[in-house]
Chains A and B, each alone.
Chain A
Amino acid sequence: MLSSISEKLLPIFFCKLVAGIIISGCLICAGCGVAVRTADKGIVALKNSRLFHQGRHGELTEQEKRWAKIAWRYFENNYQPKTGLVNSVDNYPSCSMWDIADYLAALIATHQLGLIKRCEFDKRLSKLLSFLNTMDLFWGKLPNILYNTQTGAMVNYQNQPEEIGWSAVDIGRLLIWLKIAKAQYPVFAEYIDKTILRWNFCDILDEEGTLYGAIKVNGKLVLFQEGRLGYEEYAAKGFQAWGFNTKKASKIEPYETVKIYGIKIPYDARDPRETKVLTPVLSLPFILDGLEFNWDKVKDVHSLDSVHTDSIMAHIAENIYKVQALRYKKEKILTARTDHMIKNPPFFVYDSIFASGYPWNTISDKNTYIPKATLIATKAAFGMWALWNTDYTDILIRAVQCLYNPERGWYEGRQETTGDYEKVITANSNAIILEVLLYKKQGKLYSPKTTQTYYDSILQDPFKGTGKCLPKPE
């Protein structure tokens, strides 16, 4: 089924390409007058055209700037000056590496959007890097799953001091954003490199490029393959960005497909009844891949944004968008689904397109069916709005545009069953809204520099960085 992707998408690309040329052509004509300025305008217009940017693109409107400011409020309110960290949930002083990546994304976006001054940015990023360069590591190897944002100590799920393991998916997202930060702010490259060079990669990736998480069971380290279709491939891109081989993790196999409204939706074929690991199909990993990588291969830093060189992920993302839009078209149920938090137990749900055998299944991590926890997830609605410039996403954004507390940030979403707001406020949702707005302004967020940095010098030195399973220099 995936071989047909390019054929299916080609006409769309082609149309957009043609449209882009026409639009830019028109602008060139419209700009008649001073010849030099015309040419200039033409270039600007071409740069802004669909040739280079899919979905929404352009300077932020006043309303969108307000949206960004509201999102940034979250990171102001939840900043912990002692550690430089930000709480993962409003007023809850704990965070994971995923949450740190969210904060980093939010910080970069806010600065790039001109909402904070350079020195404010510098102060915050320096503080954060300093934390990453000094934090305790799980068994001295890798970042612990959770840290207390007030004390900086490794903690368990009750936010009590304990080292409990690591998450390859969380670390993968952090690696993506450290790489983006490095490209956008070369002056910090050295300190960013140093945070990563502290880590030991021997157990998190194997020779075949499979990702492993770790947990501590009765004082022993238990490694387990981590990641399921979607987040697995997304996180793998972070490791790839730093030169690691992620061959197996990056493959979408093993997968099966299920047809919903005639649209083929691939899902991870590792059976949750056997493995006890759920395999929900969610929007977020595909949205993040779109915003950050334009669904390109990690190595691809040159292709036009209208071409997606990771065509498999692009195709899955397209289908995940389509099936949600179709659900609205056929059943008139506004749909923007992903994993998110809720106010009441179990606090976290997989609000999925497909999971455990059922379409539109909303389940806890124990596989309990909780349909009332279904949301139009704010972050998913924003993500789809940015990546697909359609009538449907116009409607989605109208459904979530007022879902905020101006003092605290954006809410998690709107309940499908009641229409009420789900008023949990998280770093994740607010960070993704900022990412989305930055994407609107800049397009693909990942644009690494080829300049050599401290990291490369260590990799190339046969006497340094040994015993940590760092990648071989190219």
Chain B
Amino acid sequence: MSIFTLRIAQVGEVMVIRRILIIFILFYTCLGCSMLNHSISKPQEKRNVIASTAGTHPGRNGPLTPLEMNMAKVAWRYFENNYQPNTGFVNSVDGYPSTTMWDTASYLAGLVAAYELGLIDKYQFDKRMHSILETFNKIDFFRGELPNKCYNTQTATKVNYANQPAEIGFSALDLGRLLIWLKIIKERYPEFANAIDHFVMRWNFCHILDKYGTMYGAILDKKTGQVKYVQEGRLGYEEYAAKGFQLWGFDTTRASMPEPYNFIPIYGVDVPYDARDPRKTEAHNYVVSESYILDGIELNWDTGYDHSSEDITHTDKIIANFAQRIYKVQEKRYLVTGILTARTEHQLDGPPYFVYDTIYTDGYPWNTIAETGEYLPQFASVVPKAAIGLWVIWKTPYTDILFRAVSHLYDPDKGFYEGYYENNGGLIKTFTANNNGIILEELLYKVQGKLLKFSGRKSLWDKVNRNPFIGKEKCFPLFQKSCCPSSSAN
């Protein structure tokens, strides 16, 4: 059930208002710049060599091997088993008829990959696309503003975490990821662009972004039941989700800034983490692989405005640099301690059902915590979506070993397991849309590189956004500067 704590956690049921950068952070920022040049040079040089000799994008290039193709097939099994033909949705956890917009984006990623890799034909692909687009254009939104955090996959009704009809808020991170995948699909398959644009035109952006480009989620106050809009996202996820809004023309200046951040040295690697203090905000500042991997394979660590650069250059230089550090420190941990490390947030098959299995959070390296902050080192795991992500982006002996570790971590009838425990090697016996969807898109990246492929085609959304008479009440990009959500007025 708590697949849903997944992204909600980023909202943190607390007031999280982005603090103005203080001098001390600026100081660290400067410090960061010099370190940046220093330690990025090595990994990038290496990768550039690989890229220029072996392919057109970083990491693994080329058609899938039979083993990899089999992995893709197994991962797709999850989406066959958990498909809900009435709505076009897919369950976020095996057999549990509920989902979020994040997990739906992972499904769309899996669907595109399955089609591109030839696992399904155009007939199946189209049938699934039409079905979910129809649902997208039909579903009730939270307060009529934006897609609710959760939907019942059988009925497409708004639900709470217990899958009971209710509206509970929206998540800017979930919707940001969905916008990225809607953009990827629209650019790749013009036949669906119109329906996708209509779905996005239903959205009201007035509360999710302010005029400074800060993202907000909506939550209901536990005591009063009143809706509250709170700053959402921490370093990594925040910048990744912001790119979704960027791709649709919004300004995300503040959300896209890595500040405020600090570095923590771990095995000699300066690992960046969000400097907003979890003791004060009660939102964790976890550092995990996932957002950096997704940003890498979907967007090539480019900015949302970059429509043309080669895959071997990364126009979002800071995130590209941070991603290197995230990789390097995990490799370093293996080299020093022999512990295979591919850390990210993941599900569990028992309470508390979900952990942030981090590189660093709340003051400690390699901290594995529940949403409550409880320390649960026994649930530290090697997670396929992270291991395969590292493998596909970084072609190194270390990721060869990671690949060996997870390439057969599946049930042929159900898909990939969520992971195996770092300490005892036992399996996390649960299957999720997110894990299997991300594995599929990672495999597609090997074949195609950056998954967002701009077509240069104009669309309805572009036309609407040149029209000063449309979209004011919904704060479309043209009107973003004049919008100011009450919450950010502070």
Contact = CB atoms under 8 A, between A and B. Distances in A.
Nearest to A355: B363
A369 B279 contact: yes
Contacts of A330: 23-24, 27
A302 interface: no
B363 A356 contact: yes
B364 A273 contact: yes
Interface in A250-288: 258-259, 261-262, 271, 273
Interface string B26-66: 01000100000000000000000000000000000000000
A219 interface: no
Contacts of B27: 261, 330
B375 interface: yes
Contacts of B377: 273
B22, B264, B363, B364: most-surrounded residue (chain A CB, <10 A):
B363
Contacts, number: 23
A262 B31 contact: yes
A259 B263 CA distance: 9
Contacts of B23: 330-331
Contact of B363 (A259, A261, A262, A357): A357
Contacts of A454: none
Contacts of B265: 259
Contacts of B364: 271, 273, 357
A92 interface: no
Q: Is the interface of B mostly helix, strand, loop or mixed?
A: mixed
Contacts of B31: 262
Kindly state the interface size class of chain B when it binds its partner.
10 to 19
A259 B32 CA distance: 13
Contact of B375 (A273, A358, A361, A369): A273
A258 B360 CA distance: 14
B208 to A, nearest CB: 31
Nearest to B279: A369
A194 B264 CA distance: 52
Interface string B245-265: 000000000000000000011
Nearest to A257: B265
A358 B375 CA distance: 16
A433 to B, nearest CB: 32
Contacts of A356: 363
Interface string A350-364: 000000111001000
B126 interface: no
A297 B363 CA distance: 34
A258 B31 CA distance: 15
A271 B377 CA distance: 12
A52 B188 CA distance: 79
Interface of B: 22-24, 27, 31, 264-265, 277, 279, 362-364, 375, 377
Interface of A: 258-259, 261-262, 271, 273, 330-331, 356-358, 361, 369
Closest 9 CB pairs of A and B: A357-B363, A369-B279, A273-B375, A357-B364, A358-B363, A356-B363, A331-B24, A330-B24, A357-B362
